Amino acid sequence: MAVRRRPASSEMSDAAAASLVSERRAGSQAWWNAVNAWLLLLPAAVLLIAFTHYPILATIRHSLFITKRNGTEVFVGLDSYQGMAADPIFWKALINNFWFALGTIPTSIALALVMAIWVNRNMRGRGFLRLAYFTPTVLPMIAVANIWLFFYTPDYGLLDQLRGVFGLAGWNWLGDPSTVMGCLIVMVIWKEAGFFMIFYLAALQQLSPDLEEAASIEGASRWYTFRRITFPLLMPTTLFVAINAVINSFKLVDHLVIMTKGGPNNASTLLLYYIYEVAFTFQDSSYAATLTAVLLVLLSAVALIKFGYLDRRIHYQ
């Protein structure tokens, strides 16, 4: 009995149909994967928009209006920004903030690196040293401010007690424009350095000890090994720490409320404290929104430099 064979064209049609069905299934699977991915991102996206992006847009919008006593809003455009440009206290606070950042950031990072290298060594009491260095970090800023008031209080503070031992008169450390900013910088360095030390310590423990051993075999000194091998490998950590230090220098305000309230004569007023003062003391929410918009621009510039420039020039393992 002869067996009839299917035409070649029919076999090709079946193969094409199977391929089409496979492509449709793959496309449907890819679509469902994309939908599932967006559904997983949805809760975080909602929170991000609700608590970050919307407040930013609302703040920028509010800076373009003024609110009357009856609650009605009046559009004033850029008038608040023009007033800010002519506000001497704003410029004083901004300059103070830059000096504050310049005083705290390099010193706290350098001190954190030194402490991390020190406690990374195999020595007795290493755990105690790590605890001692990290303890200031876990204290609230208000508690830290009260602790340092004990040092800075005129006549009765620890610093003036030490000065008295050498026959020197007391000094109003927080009441003198020439010393108040330095006092705040020292306090913030004391608190922040231990926090940054943790990141450096974690990074140091990830480095292979073979690198240092190979360098020592080649006759390299410790300083040369640190400068040419260790520190370049710590650059991603340094960048992360530096960005956090910059942000912290613009967002700290608790210590000013406790210690100086921006005085004397605005010598210690920082930008965020001025925003707080304008909003809650002077009850000028429109001008406070204007100042906040400027602060957001400054922090956005920091983020842009970090993600757009520095990330491309730093090697990540």
Question: pLDDT tens digits for 118-173?
Answer: 998 887 888 888 888 888 999 999 999 999 998 998 888 888 899 888 888 888 99
Domain identity same for 101 and 59: no
**pLDDT class of 110 with cuts at 50, 70, 90:** very high
Average pLDDT, the chain: 86
Domain identity same for 99 and 194: yes
Which of 108-117, 159-168, 196-205, 286-295 is predicted least confidently? 159-168
Residue 155 DSSP SS3: coil
Token pair 């000890």 is found at 209
CA angle 91, 95, 98 (to 5 degrees): 145
Q: Are 260 and 268 in contact (CB under 8 A)?
A: yes
Residue 8 in this model has a pLDDT that exceeds 60: no
Give me the domain span that covers residue 258.
Answer: 81-311
Instruction: Record the tokens describing residue 216, joined without a space.
Output: 């020592």
Nearest to 180 by CA among 77, 88, 289, 255: 255
Q: Looking at the domain assignment, is residue 16 inside a domain?
A: no
Q: In the chain, how many domains are there? A: 2
- Residue 314: per-residue pLDDT: 63
Residue 9 in this model has a pLDDT that exceeds 60: no
Domain identity same for 139 and 276: yes
* Phi/psi of residue 71, nearest 5 degrees: 95, -5
Q: Looking at the domain assignment, is residue 15 inside a domain?
A: no
Q: Looking at the domain assignment, is residue 230 inside a domain?
A: yes
Average pLDDT over residues 178-205: 94
Token pair 């876990």 is found at 138
**pLDDT class of 197 with cuts at 50, 70, 90:** very high
Q: Which long-range contacts (CB under 8 A, 24 or more apart) does 262-266 make?
A: 263/175, 263/180, 264/175, 264/176, 264/177, 264/180, 265/177, 266/89, 266/92, 266/93, 266/96
Domain identity same for 120 and 39: no
Taking the C-alpha atoms of residue 71 and residue 83, their distance in angstroms, rounded to an integer, is 22
- Residue 22: per-residue pLDDT: 64
Q: Looking at the domain assignment, is residue 317 inside a domain?
A: no
Rg (CA), the chain: 30
Domain identity same for 199 and 116: yes
- Residue 289: per-residue pLDDT: 94
Residue 10 in this model has a pLDDT that exceeds 70: no
Which is higher by pLDDT, 100 or 221?
100
- Residue 7: per-residue pLDDT: 52
Residue 313 in this model has a pLDDT that exceeds 70: no
Domain identity same for 46 and 191: no
Which of 2-6, 60-64, 273-277 is predicted least confidently? 2-6
Residue 263 in this model has a pLDDT that exceeds 90: no
Q: Looking at the domain assignment, is residue 1 inside a domain?
A: no
Which is higher by pLDDT, 290 or 66?
290
Residue 88 in this model has a pLDDT that exceeds 90: yes
Residue 310 in this model has a pLDDT that exceeds 90: no
Helix, strand, coil shares of the chain, percent, nearest 5, are: 75, 0, 25
Taking the C-alpha atoms of residue 28 and residue 49, their distance in angstroms, rounded to an integer, is 30
- pLDDT tens-digit readout, 14-44: 555 556 556 666 667 778 888 888 888 888 8
DSSP state of 74: E
Query: Which amino acid is present at 255?
Result: H
Who's near 251: CB < 8 A, 6+ residues apart?
A: 272
Q: Looking at the domain assignment, is residue 295 inside a domain?
A: yes
Query: Which amino acid is present at 290?
Result: T
pTM over the 0.85 mark: no
Residue 185 in this model has a pLDDT that exceeds 70: yes
Domain identity same for 142 and 221: yes
Query: Which amino acid is present at 122?
Result: N
Going by DSSP bridges, is the β-strand pair 65-67/73-75 parallel, antiparallel, or unpaired? antiparallel
Domain identity same for 221 and 91: yes
Average pLDDT over residues 176-190: 94
* % of the chain residues with pLDDT over 70: 89
**CATH number of the domain where residue 140 is located:** 1.10.3720.10
Instruction: Record the tokens describing residue 233, joined without a space.
Output: 């490998």
Strands (E), the chain: 65-67, 73-75
- pLDDT tens-digit readout, 222-257: 888 888 888 888 988 998 899 899 999 998 888 898
Domain identity same for 193 and 270: yes
DSSP state of 168: P
Q: Looking at the domain assignment, is residue 148 inside a domain?
A: yes
**pLDDT class of 312 with cuts at 50, 70, 90:** low
- Residue 5: per-residue pLDDT: 54
Taking the C-alpha atoms of residue 193 and residue 170, their distance in angstroms, rounded to an integer, is 29
Instruction: Record the tokens describing residue 14, joined without a space.
Output: 């079946």
Beta partners for residue 65, in sequence order:
75
Domain identity same for 101 and 138: yes
